[in-house]
């Protein structure tokens, strides 16, 4: 889909952060694409779409599409995709509508009519004490499903190994004792840096789950990815009632 075919709705209150502006030329877009989409990120973004396959979902609101890979995959998988970002237009391919708004202030009525809100690797850019309000907006939108992911830095270890007669590849990582450290402070009004990550002091997974449940969601599934080290949570809006058989 050509960029000119995108429908954009500007709700105001979107911070003017240069680092969130999309590339202006195909060359700059390509440069950023290769810089951002490493193998581990490709797998991480595929997993976002994978989590929807067992849910009764057709209309998806994707929060924070950035360069549009998930948008494209969702569209190719047959979903009706709308994106929401602080940017005034959608660069991602496949989204038929874009809402330019701050997720902290967007009116719930502006994001109604969706079967699922997909909000992955976005909430960590919001101050911890403002996450509750964002989650309540998602619940008040009436979307039956919410899929979240945020960085996970709790104690963990990972190792992979591959070899043949021509090559050897191995990867490993170890995270420990993050709970003894506070996450580095960042400017609350600057969207780019992370404000918190799960596993650091005061930001445990149980505390994050409580925020979700207190906002009116029931967590039905929890998964982890090792490459980008994130935790995924599939949540049911309790106001929408129990999930029908088959999702």
Structure-token pair, residue 26: 């195909």
CB atoms near residue 34 (< 10 Å): 8
Q: Is the pLDDT of residue 39 over 80?
A: yes
Q: Is the pLDDT of residue 163 over 60?
A: yes
Distance, in Å, from the CA atom of 105 to the CA atom of 191, rounded to the nearest integer, reads 14
Q: What is the pLDDT of residues 189-228, one digit of tens each?
A: 898 899 999 999 999 999 999 999 999 999 999 999 988 8
Distance, in Å, from the CA atom of 94 to the CA atom of 199, rounded to the nearest integer, reads 35
What's the pLDDT band for 16 if we cut at 50, 70, 90?
A: very low
Instruction: Check residue 66 and give left, alpha or beta (phi > 0: left; psi -120 to 50: alpha).
Output: left
DSSP single-letter state for residue 179: G
Distance, in Å, from the CA atom of 226 to the CA atom of 158, rounded to the nearest integer, reads 7
Non-local (6+) Cβ contacts of 14 within 8 A are 86, 87, 88, 100, 101, 102
Q: What is the pLDDT of residues 89-141, one digit of tens each?
A: 645 455 578 999 999 999 999 999 999 999 999 999 999 999 999 999 999 99
Distance, in Å, from the CA atom of 51 to the CA atom of 189, rounded to the nearest integer, reads 31
Non-local (6+) Cβ contacts of 34 within 8 A are none
Q: Is the pLDDT of residue 233 over 90?
A: yes
What's the pLDDT band for 2 if we cut at 50, 70, 90?
A: very low
H-helix or E-strand spanning residue 131:
helix 131-140
State mean pLDDT over 28-39: 87
Distance, in Å, from the CA atom of 224 to the CA atom of 232, rounded to the nearest integer, reads 6
Mean pLDDT, the chain, rounded, equals: 87
């Amino acid at each position: 889909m050509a960029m000119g075919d995108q429908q954009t709705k500007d709700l105001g209150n979107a911070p003017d952060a240069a680092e969130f502006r999309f590339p202006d030329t195909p060359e700059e877009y390509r440069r950023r694409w290769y810089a951002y989409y490493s193998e581990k990120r490709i797998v991480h973004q595929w997993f976002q779409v994978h989590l929807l396959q067992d849910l009764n979902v057709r209309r998806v609101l994707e929060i924070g599409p950035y360069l549009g890979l998930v948008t494209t995959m969702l569209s190719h998988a047959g979903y009706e995709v709308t994106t929401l970002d602080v940017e005034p237009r959608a660069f991602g391919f496949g989204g038929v509508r874009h809402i330019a708004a701050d997720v902290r202030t967007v009116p719930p009525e502006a994001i109604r009519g969706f079967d699922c809100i997909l909000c992955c690797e976005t909430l960590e850019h919001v101050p911890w004490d403002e996450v509750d309000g964002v989650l309540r907006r998602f619940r008040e939108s009436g979307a039956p499903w919410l899929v979240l992911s945020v960085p996970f830095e709790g104690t963990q270890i990972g190792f992979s190994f591959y070899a043949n007669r021509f090559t050897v590849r191995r990867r490993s990582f170890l995270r420990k004792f993050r709970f003894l450290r506070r996450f580095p402070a960042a400017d609350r009004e600057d969207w780019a840096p992370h404000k918190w990550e799960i596993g650091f002091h005061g930001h445990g997974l149980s505390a994050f789950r409580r925020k979700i449940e207190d906002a009116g969601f029931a967590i039905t599934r929890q998964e982890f990815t090792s490459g980008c080290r994130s935790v995924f949570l599939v949540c049911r809006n309790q106001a929408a009632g129990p999930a029908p058989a088959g999702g």
